[in-house]
Structures are given as structure tokens and as C-alpha cells.
Amino acid sequence: MIDEIRIALKPLLERIAALHDQLDVASTRRRIDDMDRMALAPGFWDDVERARKLLLEKGPLERLVRDWEGLSRLAEDVGVLAELAEEANDAATEAECRDALARLERDLKSLEVRRLLAAEEDAMNAIVEINAGAGGTDAADWAEMLLRMYGRWAEKRGFSTELLFHQPSEDAGIRGATLAIRGAYAFGYLQAESGVHRLVRISPFDQNARRHTAFAAVAVYPEVDDTIEIHINPADIEMETMRASGAGGQHVNTTDSAVRLRHLPTGIAVLCRQERSQHKNRDTAMKMLRAKLYQLELEKRLEATAEINAKKKRIDFGSQIRSYVLQPYQQVKDARTAVAVGDVDSVLGGELDAFMEAWLAARAEGTLLDA
């Protein structure tokens, strides 16, 4: 049984050695040492902007080295536990070794995926925008299911969420919503979700219990904080205020607290009405606008590739990046990577990493399929 563990460990050690070279851990350590020396130099902290930029660069580098060292220690622990289990012929130690081996494989895969998140924006928080498409009430219900799915994905990772915008549908579900998801590499992972999502199921809104198809569009933007310079000329912003809708009675908002901002040069518009304060809604709307303008610059940098253009397709038949089929069989399949999962409930419950990781790997290898 110990031989099985050693056989399983060998390819993992080879992948770890290859990852060490791919991540260039030695050079990263030297760069961190250089930064530490710079921070100790007289007068360094007098230049606040320079110090801020250094700390922003240093944080991800330290996290990478820390994760790498943890992976190396875990690999050593697996080897030691295997030897102890063999010498003592101890079932408990062998079980502990198997658990450590499984953890090693999981952590290694996580760090391998992290290598694919090298762009500056990948480490940022994410703003997820969801809009119902073709399919009537089913589409509105589907949009709400997607909102719940991404919230659960964030919860599983220990990320925080904030609902920035929410527009209920007349009958059920939502016409649109915007959710901020905050955590390390949130945008890096969630960018794989941009596109049209298709649902096939027996409609709960059809009295004849017929199968219906519904669509919803997801767009993901990096949340831009004050450390990223996005120049917006105040003269280019048109602001409109309106009365936010309420549930009635004492909950009706009697002031024009909702805010819509339109960036005139690009035509990009955002709406926020979650808060009762117009000032707070305007601040949130500005964050949303900055995120969209930053994403626009990223798209220009990538020269409007087919991947980005796919985000702008109609929310209708033939444009989906992923299909969620509940009837006549159960399967979630991504059209860009061909990854398919039979456990639909787990996917709708936030188990999305398989799709995200496959998308990141295919993008890096240039093997993304046409959606």
C-alpha cells in the first residue's frame, strides 16, 4: 500500500520541480530581498507614492513564495510519513499520509492555476453583472439562479460579496443584478464566466410542464480601486437621479436617491439604487463606471479578440458559452473547453472551479474552442 503512495507521489514531485522553474521562485526571492533593502534605505518612506507602489508589487510576490514553500514542506511531509508508516506498519500513519498526499495534489493544482493568473488585473476583486435574456419569466428566474450560484462560489472561497444593483422581474426572478465579489484573484477566476449562459429544463411556470430554454448574460469586470489611475473628465459624465422603487408602505423611498451615470464618450451607463442615500449610490456608481472603463481599456489592449467579442453577442440561441441541461438529461457543458459535469446541483451550488481552471489553461495554451 505504501508503494502505491510512492508511485502517486513521484509525478507530483516532477510537477513541483517544473513549477519551481516556471514560477522562477529563485528570482522572486531575490526581488523580495531587493525590496527589503530599498525599504530600509534612508528617506525611502518619505516618498509615499513610491513606497505604495513597492508594497503593491511586493505583496503578491511574497504570497507566491509563501505558497511555494508551503507546497515544498507538504511534499517533504508526505515522504516522511510514508517512511514512518512503512517502518511501523501503522495503518493510522498510512491514512494520515494519504490525506497529506491528497492535500498536496490539491494545493499543487491550485498553484499551477495561479501561474496562469499573471496579469495585473487578475489579482483584483470582481464586479459581476447579470442580465436576463430570451426566455421570458424563465430567463428572469435563470438570472436569479446565476446570481445565487456566484454568491455560493464566493462563499465557498471565503470571499465577501456586496449587491450593487438589483432589478426584480414582474413575475419571478430578476431582470438584472450587479454583484461585487472581493477576494484574492476574484477577477482572475471569474473572467471565465463572461458570456451567455443557457438553461434547459421543465419550466415551473408552464402549466403544461413543457421543456423551455432560457438565456442570461454574464459580464465580469475588475473592481478598480484608488491605486489604479482611471482618468475620467467630470465634464464627460451625465448624471441622472430618480426615485428608487420600494416595496410599498414605509419602505417607499420618497427622495430621488437612485443615480444613473453615463460616460458620454463611450456611451457606457451604470445605475445604482441600493442605498437610501444619493451620495452613497453615486459613489458606488462611480466604482462601477471605473470598472467598466478599465475593462474597456483591457479589451483594447487585447485587440478585441473573439473571446471578448463573444461577450457582446445577443443573449439568445447559438451564442451561449455554457449550457446547463436539467431535462431530458442532466449535464453542464462548457462550449469553449468541452468540460462537462453531470452533477448539475453541485454546479448551481457554486462548484465552478473545474470550468474556470479549464478555461484558464485553454486560454494560456491557445486552445479555446469557438462558443
Torsion sign across C-alpha atoms 301, 302, 307, 312: positive
One domain, residues 107 and 215: no
Residue 158 CB neighbour total at 10 angstroms: 8
| Domain assignment present for 196 | yes
Of 84, 115, 146, the position where a domain reaches its end is 115
Of 280, 296, 316, the position where a domain reaches its end is 316
| Domain assignment present for 367 | no
One domain, residues 209 and 275: yes
One domain, residues 158 and 90: no
Place of cell 432560457: 214
Grid cell for residue 267: 456611451
| Domain assignment present for 328 | no
| Domain assignment present for 202 | yes
One domain, residues 182 and 260: yes
One domain, residues 55 and 86: yes
pLDDT at 237: 82
Spatial contact of 191 and 311, defined as CB atoms under 8 Å apart: no
Identify each DSSP E strand in 137-184 by its residue range: 160-168, 174-182
Phi then psi dihedrals of residue 242, to 5 deg = -155, 165
| Number of domains the chain is built from | 2
Of 268, 287, 316, the position where a domain reaches its end is 316
Q: Report d(CA 246, CA 249) in Å as an integer.
A: 8
Phi then psi dihedrals of residue 20, to 5 deg = -55, -45
Residue 263 CB neighbour total at 10 angstroms: 19
| Domain assignment present for 277 | yes
| Domain assignment present for 244 | yes
One domain, residues 188 and 46: no
> Among 259, 152, 160, 165, which Cα is nearest to 219's?
165
Spatial contact of 195 and 322, defined as CB atoms under 8 Å apart: yes
Calculate the alpha carbon distances from 290 to 150, 283, 295, 298 in Å.
22, 11, 9, 12
- Angle subtended at Cα 187 by Cα 141 and Cα 113, rounded to the nearest 5 degrees: 110
One domain, residues 191 and 149: yes
Place of cell 517544473: 18
Residue 106 CB neighbour total at 10 angstroms: 9
pLDDT at 252: 44
pLDDT at 165: 85
One domain, residues 61 and 167: no
One domain, residues 140 and 186: yes
pLDDT at 251: 44
One domain, residues 84 and 212: no
Long-range contacts of 81-84 (CB under 8 A, 24+ apart): 82/2, 82/5, 82/6, 82/9
Domain holding 204: CATH number? 3.30.70.1660
- Residue stretches of the chain with pLDDT short of 70: 225-230, 243-256, 299-318, 371
One domain, residues 17 and 76: yes
Domain that holds residue 199: 123-316
Calculate the alpha carbon distances from 317 to 24, 56, 164, 196, 313 in Å.
45, 43, 29, 9, 10
| Domain assignment present for 362 | no
> Among 125, 165, 120, 135, which Cα is nearest to 147's?
165
One domain, residues 36 and 172: no
pLDDT at 33: 94
Q: Report d(CA 67, CA 73) in Å as an integer.
A: 10
Domain holding 85: CATH number? 1.20.58.410
> Among 95, 187, 197, 103, which Cα is nearest to 143's?
197
| Domain assignment present for 128 | yes
